[in-house]
Structure 1
């Protein structure tokens, strides 16, 4: 039997890119297994089913090493599991397979790189979240964090223009122009200000 295993980190992501690469092999796969879960752990539903189903002589194709795992130890353990069952795993992107023993060295190096990439991604996300909390906005200008902080960060002229707008001395369109924001942002600010 010839299997393919695909994995993406979240349910919102698509395996389309992996499908495209594996389709180029022109192999008639007997069965496909897909996980939509982080690769940091080894306990994944589709991978667990695949481990139970494979038999001696079967072949598994993965688009890349990082799809099978992003932790070097888990990656080695998974490959050893398949190898002990006489199942060969092919990693298309890296051009290696688990037939023989030479793959272990390459697997360790490339697995370490995948693990480092994952750690860097997590670190960048944490830094981005910290920045958003600190500034109260995301990179695109959307509000982030507690509303109290957001209300404190409204432009200094907001209250003055708000009073004029309430007294019908100023329209919302004019107020938005004076503050240099779009109407949607202004309406959001007004809503937050009035909540306070």
Structure 2
């Protein structure tokens, strides 16, 4: 039986150290971590690795339920997948485990609360952006991809897939930049 810890933060500038320290203190022999949004399961390779690795009697440990996800269905599906592998899920704060029937009920409620919290965050963010726009203070998010470089590569007649590979982005992002340049927004 292994205790496998999973730590997650949403952005690159956030710190995983506190979660990792708590998981080590709980006796997790293996700890996987990643910096990716918890809005959905897509793009969470470390979590997928843990689920694939789980064996009967193993325990997936997280510091808080929202580290597993912020969507109730995703969280419940993750718990179900662990149970299919005869493994358990334990949340440290508040301490809840799927080892008992009551733990399932509590985890379902906590999953719903995490999803509601995400909706509130998005709503507050949207209100803040609208307020900043009305005051002329909103600049928009910072570009993560060098648009001018993408356009240079397009002018050099390089293919979209090749550009996406060089720029480490999706083809759709390249198409958006191209469309923006044609519409005069780049």
Q: Shared topology, TM-score over 0.5?
A: yes
Structure 1 runs of 4+ with >6 Å offset: none
Summarize the alignment of residues 169-188 of structure 1 with structure 2, pairs less than 5 Å apart: none
**Counterparts of 1:145 and 1:82, CA distance in 2:** 43
Superposed displacement of residue 37, structure 1: 1.2
Q: Secondary structure at the match of 1:61?
A: strand
Relative to the length of structure 2, the TM-score reads 0.69
Q: CA RMSD in A?
A: 1.6
Task: Tell me the residue number matched to 2:36.
Answer: 37
Structure 1 residues 75-115: Cα deviation after superposition (integer angstroms, max 9, x where no partner): 11100110111111110001111113222211121111111
User: CA offsets, 1:120-152, max 9 Å, x none?
Assistant: 111111111111111122xxxxxx339xxxxxx
- Unaligned stretches of 5+ in structure 2? 141-186
CA deviation vs aligned residue, 1:148-171 (integer Å, no higher than 9, x gap): xxxxxxxxxxxxxxxxxxxxxxxx
2:80, 2:11 → 1: CA distance?
Answer: 26
Say whether 1:6 aligns with 2:17: no
Over residues 21-45 of structure 1, what are the superposed CA-to-partner deviations in whole Å (9 max), with x where a residue is unaligned? Answer: 33443x1x32211121111112211
Alignment of 1:28-177 (within 5 A): 29-43=28-42, 44-137=44-137, 144-145=138-139
Q: Which has the larger radius of gyration?
A: 1
**Structure 1 runs not aligned, ≥5 long:** 138-143, 147-196
State TM-score, norm by structure 1: 0.66
More displaced stretch, 101-110 vs 47-56: 101-110
